């Protein structure tokens, strides 16, 4: 049975980052980066699988989340500062490089890490959010909106309207109060599976500014039965306790750095953003917000990533939780084909093929 342990370390900026660790200490390193609103343990199906295959797997509670550091300085959650924290993590682990895996905001952080620090990447796997989009600011995402679904006069910010909502301080305060008034029901409502029924329809996130808040401007999250979500009682309790202890301000502060992120992204330090490291993009076909299947948002990624693979999975936004076996198989297959030297073969026991 795989044993997952928790560790803390002090970053270069004298802040405490906490992470989960499993697998052989000398195995090839995989680092899993979660998004909003999640914590390290949401990667458990991936951590246990790849640790059992001989990888060393690490998943931090990202800055602002779980038991990692939290501040009230929004700049601590800019791409540049978060990437710097991940560089500290890699140094702490005494490794030169890793396979980096991200989802949601975590995907954007990993893309930014890759763009500025490719020498520390064996390969990169990201889910739902393509390269050269969110890490460059919300305006970059809006450029690729499907205007057949989101006419500009009616939905100026398309499905990314909720991110624009946070830019007003009063709205930010209102959103955070909404999340925190009933954390369990908010999490159950967010962590839900999706299907094709939402295709070709505006997402609920497209009218947050007009409605004055989430779910039509409601005062509190809707009552959501646990069985309709992707969470079990243990995962809900773990997530809920994390956000009850730490709140939602710091996690939501990632959305407050679009201008700073854009400025840093435009200052490409390596090859003007062109990527030669092997990359894998896992597309969630039923993600109604990050609708990569129904827009042109993947085009920059396909243009800039020169050793690129894509896999599409019939799942919603939480693809790694909804379809963990398919996600794990896609990652394993990609490692074996795109970066076979990163697979933890026992060098003393050569592979034998059936004849």
Confidence label for 346 from pLDDT (cuts 50, 70 and 90): low
pLDDT > 70 fraction of the chain, expressed in percent and rounded: 97
Q: Residue 318 maps to which CATH number?
A: 3.40.50.1820
Contact criterion met (CB below 8 Å) for 284 and 317 = yes
In this prediction, residue 110 carries a pLDDT of 98
| DSSP helix/strand/coil, 21 | strand
End-to-end CA distance of the chain: 33
Question: Is 191 part of any domain?
Answer: no
Greater confidence (229 vs 12) lies with 229
Structure tokens at 129: 């959010």
φ, ψ for residue 110 (rounded to 5)?
A: -65, -40
Across 29-54, average pLDDT? 98
φ, ψ for residue 15 (rounded to 5)?
A: -120, 155
Q: Tokens 């939480």, residue? A: 318
Q: Distance (Å, rounded) from C-alpha 318 to C-alpha 36?
A: 11
What's this model's pTM, rounded to 2 decimal places? 0.96
In this prediction, residue 161 carries a pLDDT of 98
Across 342-355, average pLDDT? 60
The count of other CB atoms within 10 Å of the CB of residue 34 is: 26
Across 45-64, average pLDDT? 98
State which residues form the domain around 320: 5-144+251-342
Question: Is 353 part of any domain?
Answer: no
**Could you tell me what percentage of the chain is helix, strand and coil, using 3-state DSSP and rounding each to the nearest 5?**
45, 15, 40
φ, ψ for residue 16 (rounded to 5)?
A: -95, 120
Question: Is 45 part of any domain?
Answer: yes
pLDDT at 99 over 50: yes
Q: Tokens 């990993």, residue? A: 110
pLDDT at 354 over 50: no
DSSP H stretches of helix in the chain: 44-52, 79-92, 105-116, 138-142, 161-165, 169-181, 183-190, 208-211, 214-217, 233-246, 249-252, 258-266, 299-304, 319-322, 324-338
Q: Distance (Å, rounded) from C-alpha 173 to C-alpha 1?
A: 44
pLDDT at 269 over 90: no
- What domain count does the chain have? 1
pLDDT > 90 fraction of the chain, expressed in percent and rounded: 92
Whole-number mean pLDDT of the chain?
A: 95
Confidence label for 355 from pLDDT (cuts 50, 70 and 90): very low
Contact criterion met (CB below 8 Å) for 282 and 330 = yes
pLDDT digits (tens, 9 = 90+) for 232-245: 999 999 999 999 99
Question: Is 276 part of any domain?
Answer: yes
Question: Is 277 part of any domain?
Answer: yes
Q: Order of strands across the sheet with 29-33?
A: 5-10, 16-22, 56-60, 29-33, 98-103, 121-127, 279-284, 308-313
Across 141-156, average pLDDT? 97
Q: Which residues contact 192 (CB under 8 A, 6 or more apart)?
A: 224, 228, 229, 230, 316
Ranking 55-59, 178-182, 312-316, 343-347 by mean pLDDT, the lowest is: 343-347
188, 205, 221 from 182: Cα distances, Å: 10, 19, 7
Confidence label for 322 from pLDDT (cuts 50, 70 and 90): very high
Q: What's the burial of 43, exposed, middle or buried (CB within 10 Å: 0-12/13-18/19+)?
A: buried
21, 110, 286 from 192: Cα distances, Å: 27, 24, 11
Q: Which residues contact 318 (CB under 8 A, 6 or more apart)?
A: 191, 193, 230
In this prediction, residue 199 carries a pLDDT of 87
Structure tokens at 2: 């795989």
pLDDT digits (tens, 9 = 90+) for 271-297: 899 999 999 999 999 999 999 999 999
pLDDT at 1 over 90: no
Question: Is 100 part of any domain?
Answer: yes
Question: Is 168 part of any domain?
Answer: no
Confidence label for 345 from pLDDT (cuts 50, 70 and 90): confident
Question: Is 79 part of any domain?
Answer: yes
Bridging pattern class, strands 98-103 and 56-60: unpaired
């Amino acid at each position: 049975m795989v044993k997952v342990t928790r560790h803390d370390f002090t970053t270069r900026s004298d802040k405490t980052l906490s992470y989960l660790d499993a697998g052989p200490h000398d195995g090839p390193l995989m680092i899993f980066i979660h998004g909003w609103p999640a914590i390290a343990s949401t990667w458990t199906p991936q951590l246990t699988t790849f640790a059992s295959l001989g990888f060393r797997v690490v998943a931090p509670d990202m800055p602002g989340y779980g038991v990692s550091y939290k501040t009230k300085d929004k700049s601590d959650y800019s791409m540049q500062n978060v990437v710097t924290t991940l560089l500290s993590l890699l140094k702490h682990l005494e490794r030169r490089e890793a396979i980096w895996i991200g989802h949601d905001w975590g995907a954007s952080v990993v893309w930014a890490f890759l763009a500025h620090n490719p020498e520390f990447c064996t390969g990169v796997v990201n889910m739902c959010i393509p390269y050269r989009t969110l890490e460059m600011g919300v305006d970059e995402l809006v450029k690729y909106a499907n205007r057949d679904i989101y006419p500009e006069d009616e939905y100026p910010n398309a499905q990314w309207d909720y991110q624009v909502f946070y830019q007003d301080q009063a709205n930010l305060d209102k959103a955070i109060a909404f999340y925190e008034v009933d954390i369990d029901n908010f999490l159950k409502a967010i962590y839900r599976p999706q299907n094709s029924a939402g295709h070709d329809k505006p997402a609920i996130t497209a009218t947050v500014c007009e409605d004055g808040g989430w779910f039509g401007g409601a005062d509190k999250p809707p009552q959501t039965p646990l069985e309709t979500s992707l969470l079990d009682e243990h995962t809900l309790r773990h997530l809920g306790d994390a956000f009850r202890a730490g709140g939602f301000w710091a996690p939501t502060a990632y959305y407050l750095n679009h201008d700073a992120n854009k400025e840093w992204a435009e200052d490409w330090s390596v090859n003007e953003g062109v990527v030669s490291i092997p990359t894998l993009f896992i597309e969630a076909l039923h993600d109604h917000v990050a609708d990569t299947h129904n827009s042109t948002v993947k085009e920059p990624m396909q243009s800039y990533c020169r050793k690129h693979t894509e896999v599409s999975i019939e799942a919603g936004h939480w693809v790694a939780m909804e379809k963990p076996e398919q996600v794990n198989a896609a990652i394993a297959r990609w490692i074996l084909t795109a970066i076979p030297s990163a697979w933890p073969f026992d060098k003393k026991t050569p592979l034998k093929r059936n004849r």
